[in-house]
Chains A and B, each alone.
Chain A
Amino acid sequence: MASSNLIIGLEIGTWKICVVVGESRPDGAIKILGVGQTPSRGVRKGEIVDFETAMKCVHEAVVDAEQKSDVMIRSIYVAVAGSHLQSFNNRGSVMLPEDRDEIDEQDVEDVKINAREVSIPAQNAFLHSIIQHYHVDGQNGVLNPVGMLGQKLEADFHIIHGVRTRIQNTIRCVKELPLDVEDVVFGALASAQVVLTQHQKDLGSLVIDIGGGTTDYILYADGAVKQSGCLAIGGDHITNDISMGLRIPMARAEKLKIEEGNCVLGNCLPGETILLKDDSGFAGKEIERETLNTIINLRLRETFELLKRRLEEESFINYLGAGIFITGGCSLLNGIDNLAEEIFEMPAHVAHAQTASGLTSAVENPQFSTAIGLIKYAQAVQTDRPRRRFGGVLGKFFSGMR
């Protein structure tokens, strides 16, 4: 393979664009060689709104990563987000020909295509079809049917799709640089690869990736993806709320959120105030701590409740054994796990990439979960199905679009 064992993940976020250079070891371990990042411009709610500017930012981030890791970047895995992404579960089924009863790879491929035989909006394209379980002649819970005997092969897939042009915009942004896009991956799916262990996936867990512009979520039960999606609410909204509520500029609101914000109410003294300093360091405006926390609390509470209502449309949320894992830049807010625990009524943890070594500062920062997750995802895909890579990603991507 052209990329040998070097894998590069790119996340075009609302607040920052980051490029993580990772090395995939033969034993499956991942080592992070370098991280390049730039503040993001031209991106709102996880989607590119100013193509030129965003492209420049991506370029800067790539150059930064090249310098830091001393690697020439040619091809890249890209994470996408945005409220246009949707998901559903569907079952596909194929009958084997009369003269054959051993299931082969072609049948598995067919069943996947069959599972996609559902109507999605015309402008949408499939992003992922993630296998949940196979059923062979009514036998449930088959993990790998290839080589098994049977007449009827069924498969449950979790399908993620989104608006084709918007996904293309992200790809174009990278291709213009010019870099090759190896694959496009849903952000939360990537994050979950490094935030969760296989055990946690089996037990059942929910990953909430709260970034600057979007909140992506993905729910695992029985080791398979059951629900996923994206809410276009993120840290940006909290900052905006603070800025409007306290009448201070966005930049200062952002700083205030990071330095002083807390999602939990009632843990500050009555009337406790924060003194805002202006640029020259002089005392400026005074802000009541409880007011700040109330604004943050209300916004996150609403976001979590919205998320909970979405997840409760199906029953999987009731069977989460491992609880909730919050990652992404916004998970650094104080008390966010407590708030999630309160609303979802189950244990919640702030999590960062677990299964990678190297640059510790990057690995332990939840902001990079997605980009590091891309590397893990790529590693898994490459070892599982190396042959799929030959067609080039875009081949796969567009074929996926029917």
Chain B
Amino acid sequence: MSSNIAAEAAARSHAVLLVDSDPHTSALLVERMASRGHRAAVVPPTAEALRQRLRFERFDVVIFDFHHERPEELDACRLARSDSGGAPIVVLAAPGHATDVVEAFRERSGAVDEIVRKPLAGDGIFRLVSQLIARVRETRAGLYASLVSDGGRSWIDSGGKSPQLSEQAVLFTDIRRSTELVASVPLPEWFQAINRALSDQGIIVRESGGSIVKFTGDGLLAAFRGRGRSHLALRCGLALQELDRTSPYRDTLRVGIGIAEGLVMSGLIGETGRQQYDVIGATVHLAARLCSIANEGELVATPKLVRAAAVPQAAERPTRSVNLRGFPAPIECVSF
């Protein structure tokens, strides 16, 4: 068997957890699954046995064989739902009364994805299992994709080259007084508030032609490339400032913004096998430091970027000199 054929076969082979209290029917199911190249493990429908099995193993699908005279066993589906890592749950039930019992349980518990009528005929069960697994994998792929930043996606789309040096405008945002706030607001509420604020900021960054390199906990790092990058970055910063002034959460969440422009290196950073896209360089540090000195609702940028940006709001803006940690000499900056 060539390695390609072997890989395809492995991709079609599913790990199936059969929950069944009857050794005869479970043996039949194992036989059916094995006949199609699937790996099946059997566990009785008890909380202890299921927990034990699901503690260390992951399955693509859970198939529960329902016996109508033991309706209490259906509770095992609830445990499978909570402990199986999102695997779809299929219940096999005899038509009529047994199916009615399972339907009612599905309504009550939400712990059943599909009900398949017994006796099993043809390939229906295999097709269904494959469809359910494909649906779960699609959902997971979407979640994985959401973990990758704009910059990371661009990097992948460009063929994943080695680290690159380029001129970029770098913009940081950061929520002011976040240490104080996080100690006084319930964490779930804080989580929700941060996500709302970062979602709003993300929209503005993209509308301004930038890309989000990463979220930094209570802020973000965005980069602007190409001609007009300074203009786009400053316009983005001013729009973020407007958001800060007008957002419905302005009474609690206020941001500071820092922007600098210069040479940065972009690429993947991290350990072998698990890396994230990032940008590094003195420009990035400078933008971060400018952001850290910005007051609530303030935007601080370098004069070089402001001049290159040529936006009307920048005319006649005075420069000031500030001492920034890590920089040996005072740095000129412009505040908005």
A binds B: no
